[in-house]
Amino acid sequence: MWIYLVAIVGLWTLLRLIRERKVVSHLQDKHVFITGCDSGFGNLLARQLDRRGMRVLAACLTEKGAEELRNKTSDRLETVILDVTKTESIVAATQWVKERVGNRGLWGLVNNAGYAVFAINEWLKKEDFAKILDVNLLGMIEVTLSMLPLVRKARGRVVNVSSVMGRMCFFGGGYSISKYGVEAFSDSLRRELSYFGVKVAIIEPGGFKTALNDRHSSIIKMLWDQASSEVKEVYGDKFLQSYVRTITSLVETCSEDLTLVTDCMEHALTSCHPRTRYSAGWDAKLLYLPMSYLPTFLSDAFFYWSSTKPAQAL
């Protein structure tokens, strides 16, 4: 009996691989708009798609980032300055894209711009949460709504960068909150746009070394400094030092191979049959996502016994 089961699973896997290898035709005529191209995933994806001959419209936060990207790519790639937290910037970028895509519409929208802070919730103020939500969630939503008529015209793709922390929260702060929101928005968008032939994909990376990882220690200490004296007494300096070490060690173990993520993005944009979700990185596939399916009491117990306790909890 088990032989038939293995045969069925093997046949299904083979058919799926064959189906997913079918590539969209006339890629050289298709425009893709990518946010957050100064560095990291967005920068690499822009260069990757440019090498493939697609017409890349890369949005950068700074002119320096835009210039550096242009120096590394062909004349096909064009850049625009975009701050996803400002409506006027999004409106201007949308008009800029519209002028370039014309009646063909926008084949691909990649919402990649992001910001991350991992800290204890009680150390934060409302403004600290709002800053992350403005970039990772509200900015992404506004960019998407602004660009949707162009994507719908091309019957194209929306690719939203979430995280494994959109499936399971490991740290406090607004990052996981924003990524849970990305997951929910993407799911509703996928169902709504399916009637128009538009496909929506979610990228869920594990741990990767990007510009977001560079300043965690200094940011955590800054947030600790703004906490009240009562909070500092409750947690204690020993907890702070242990927490910083934990974050630092996690960053050091992150993968440097960003192509594991950008290859997923490229497949979502170029395959005739893209996946709904892409898990990027061995830690996402083998650790974080399986853990997210565990009963809550087991995952809570894992974090409880593996983490440092606040001073007044000892």
113 CB contacts (<8 Å, ≥6 apart)?
35, 36, 42, 59, 61, 82, 84, 135, 136, 139, 140
* Structure tokens, 222: 């800054």
Residue 314, pLDDT score: 53
Asked if residue 73 has pLDDT above 60, the reply is yes
User: How confident is residue 251, by pLDDT bands cut at 50, 70 and 90?
Assistant: confident
**Whole-angstrom Cα distance, residue 53 to residue 291?**
39
Q: For residue range 5-22, what is the model confidence (pLDDT) as tens digits?
A: 766 777 766 777 777 688
The single-letter DSSP state of residue 209 is -
Torsion-angle region of 249 (φ positive above 0: left; ψ -120 to 50: alpha; else: beta):
alpha
Residue 278, pLDDT score: 96
- In sign, the C-alpha dihedral spanning 90, 91, 94, 95 is negative
Nearest to 205 by CA among 85, 112, 84: 112
Higher pLDDT residue, 250 or 92?
92
Q: For residue range 143-173, what is the model confidence (pLDDT) as tens digits?
A: 999 999 999 999 999 999 999 999 988 888 8
Lookup result for tokens 């020993």: 238
243 assigned to active site = no
Asked if residue 210 has pLDDT above 90, the reply is no
Nearest to 108 by CA among 142, 163, 148: 148
Lookup result for tokens 């306790």: 309
Report pTM.
0.90
* Structure tokens, 198: 């538009």
Alpha helix (H) residue ranges in the chain: 2-20, 40-51, 63-71, 87-101, 126-133, 140-154, 174-193, 216-226, 229-252, 259-270, 282-283, 289-292, 296-306
* Structure tokens, 213: 């990882």
Which of 175, 235, 243, 288 does the annotation list as catalytic? 175
Q: Which fold has domain 26-211+257-287?
A: Rossmann fold (3.40.50)
Domain definitions of the chain by residue range: 26-211+257-287
